[in-house]
Chains A and B, each alone.
Chain A
């Protein structure tokens, strides 16, 4: 990406100060969001989300595995993010690894909750097949196909849509098996369980440019940012995770203000996203 000139820099910052961005949006307005589900038929669930020119794909794969020793009554979920070179030539080879790791960690904190599993958007107990022996492992993979800023919000939305699209096969445990031996399981080809995604949060990223902060920053606006805060909010209005980016420090009162603004913005985003997911699922069924 070619750097911005001084005039462009002033134009962007001046526009944000006057609540009129380069593409005509206000400070707290998202770009148009479109959701498509079932884009990768080989996975258990998948979704593609476009926010303006940012384009991401998320998929969910479920495999049977062994529960962790620390939590034998809970399944496991992990998130991996990959930055495709198609998004930006700088991502060639290992160029995208650093950003991918940063996004992975942020999403892990925002969506999966603490180590105990509390606050996770997914009820991990529902992933147990046989306690201590067999559970479902969910692998959530995100792929950045096109990058024009605000990857974290787009990935969060895509993961929520992919989980809503996910079907996990029903598993029958063979009766009469000795308690000590490894149980035999029969994975159904026809019956699928669906997730309750009402508790999965959305991520709102507020980017500070000059003396104001904006949501859904484009690449150019992100290049002018001093710092950013990503706040994960669920439908009940609870904060599920906070991540700060950028090197410049923030005044604590500004952070609290950002959190309340994010909570307000997330209401519209959740409603918009839920309706988009519902219509995408309806489109897929027809």
Chain B
């Protein structure tokens, strides 16, 4: 199968280094302390943050910094073929752990000792790049909740098909069996907080693919900053400052 045409266009008409359309909305769940919806093309994710609040399970309390917990869940209707499964399957647990570790790296947990921050991520529609969208949604939700963070965490995936590095794979490209690199960075600090890769890839090509993913992460960071800035201006307007 051909994923990149000779004219350099992908199946959905994008160039190899082009991202899908990104859209974000802050404050989707009114009862949560912070919430956000993040869309990357047809992938749609909603995240909610509760906290900082009292630790529910006292045995998990940490006296020097905050406990960060995360739960990832996919809706039954979120994939092309409907699936019926309960929470806590292996993939959900793995992604929950990935999101938690990534968020822990950017939250200033030492400022909130003996407290708990809950991050809940729900996938409404999945079309590739799900965990990247989850991390971006969680970042927006944490910012909306006013949790102190070192930097925004943004995430993007990249792949390598038909001898071409591709940015932001969709579901068809993800299922093609080629390499898939998921990267999460702190864009201002220029640090990598998440790196996952499957399949085989020569190391020099890996560098190219990683670089491509980093560019994607920075583009998402710019967009997220714009969203937060617009939201802050809206709040400022409402307060009549």
Contacts and interface: CB of A to CB of B under 8 A. Distances in A.
Contacts of B46: 84, 86, 145
Nearest to B47: A86
B170 to A, nearest CB: 12
Interface string A80-100: 101011111100111000000
A86 B124 contact: no
A39 B42 CA distance: 11
A266 interface: no
B32 interface: yes
A63 B31 contact: no
Range class of the B interface residue count: 20 to 34
- The residue in B28, B32, B124 that gathers the most chain A C-beta atoms within 10 A of its C-beta is B124
A55 B122 contact: no
Given A82-B75, A85-B71, A89-B118, A40 B44 contact: yes
Contacts of A61: 77, 82
Nearest to A1: B31
B29 A145 contact: yes
A80 B82 CA distance: 12
A88 B31 contact: yes
B103 to A, nearest CB: 15
Interface in A146-181: 146-148
Nearest to A93: B87
B127 interface: yes
B233 to A, nearest CB: 24
B122 A148 contact: no
A84 B71 CA distance: 10
- The residue in A53, A93, A146 that gathers the most chain B C-beta atoms within 10 A of its C-beta is A146
A46 B71 contact: no
Contacts of B78: 40, 42
B3 interface: no
Contacts of B31: 53, 87-88, 146-148
Nearest to B80: A42
A80 B84 contact: yes
Contacts of A42: 42, 77-80, 125, 127
Interface string B106-126: 000000000000101110110
A132 to B, nearest CB: 24
A57 B28 CA distance: 13
A40 B77 contact: yes
Nearest to A48: B124
A216 interface: no
A88 B118 CA distance: 10
Contacts of B76: 80, 82, 139, 141
Interface string A30-68: 000000000111110010000001010101010100000
11 contacts: A43-B77, A53-B31, A59-B77, A84-B46, A86-B35, A86-B48, A89-B56, A93-B87, A141-B76, A146-B28, A148-B30
